[in-house]
């Protein structure tokens, strides 16, 4: 199975900060990676798919990048609505779908 290691688990930041969350896959997964945002009491919502494609309606301050095993979600200027927990998920073909452990972005 592909293991997804996400870091940090918690991140303290302020409005306007540039925030970076990383996700490392235990093997090469190409571009088969998605990022989700989850707010308390709500289901996860996709932000980025195929490593760098922005989901329709998601603000352009969110971006995804990476290469093969190492991936990054960047929030260019943190807004009050962005305080949430973020998860990565791989979907490499013929491999068990797994998620990262999550990163909680807090003030």
Partner 1 sequence: QMQLQESGPGLVKPSETLSLTCSVSGASIRDYYWSWIRQSPGKGLTWIGHIYFFGAANYNPSLKSRVIISVDTSKNQVSLKVTSVTPEDTAIYYCARHPELIPDNWFDPWGQGTLVTVSS
| Sequence-separated (6 or more) residues with CB below 8 Å from residue 42 | none
Q: Are 66 and 51 in contact (CB under 8 A)?
A: yes
Q: How far is the CB of 17 from partner 1 (least distance, A)?
A: 25
Of 49, 62, 71, 86, the one binding partner 1 (CB under 8 A) is: 49
- Which residues inside 72-91 make contact with partner 1, applying CB under 8 A? 87, 89, 91
Distances (CA, A) of 27 to 2, 19, 49, 89: 6, 25, 18, 13
Calpha distance 94→61 (Å, rounded) = 32
If one asks whether residue 46 binds partner 1 (CB under 8 A), the answer comes out as: yes
If one asks whether residue 103 binds partner 1 (CB under 8 A), the answer comes out as: no
Of 16, 60, 94, 107, the one binding partner 1 (CB under 8 A) is: 94
Judged by the rule CB under 8 A, the positions of this chain that interact with partner 1 are 32, 34, 42-46, 49, 55, 87, 89, 91-99, 101-102
């Amino acid at each position: 199975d592909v293991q997804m290691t996400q870091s940090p688990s918690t991140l303290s930041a302020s409005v306007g900060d540039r925030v970076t969350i990383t996700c490392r896959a235990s093997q090469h997964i190409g571009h088969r990676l998605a990022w989700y945002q989850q707010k308390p009491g709500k289901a996860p919502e996709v932000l980025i798919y195929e490593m760098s494609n922005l989901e329709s309606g998601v603000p352009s301050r969110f971006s995804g990048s990476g290469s093969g095993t190492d991936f990054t979600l960047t929030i260019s200027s943190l807004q009050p609505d962005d305080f949430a927990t973020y998860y990565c998920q791989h979907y490499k073909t013929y491999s068990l779908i797994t998620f990262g452990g999550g990163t909680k972005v807090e003030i």
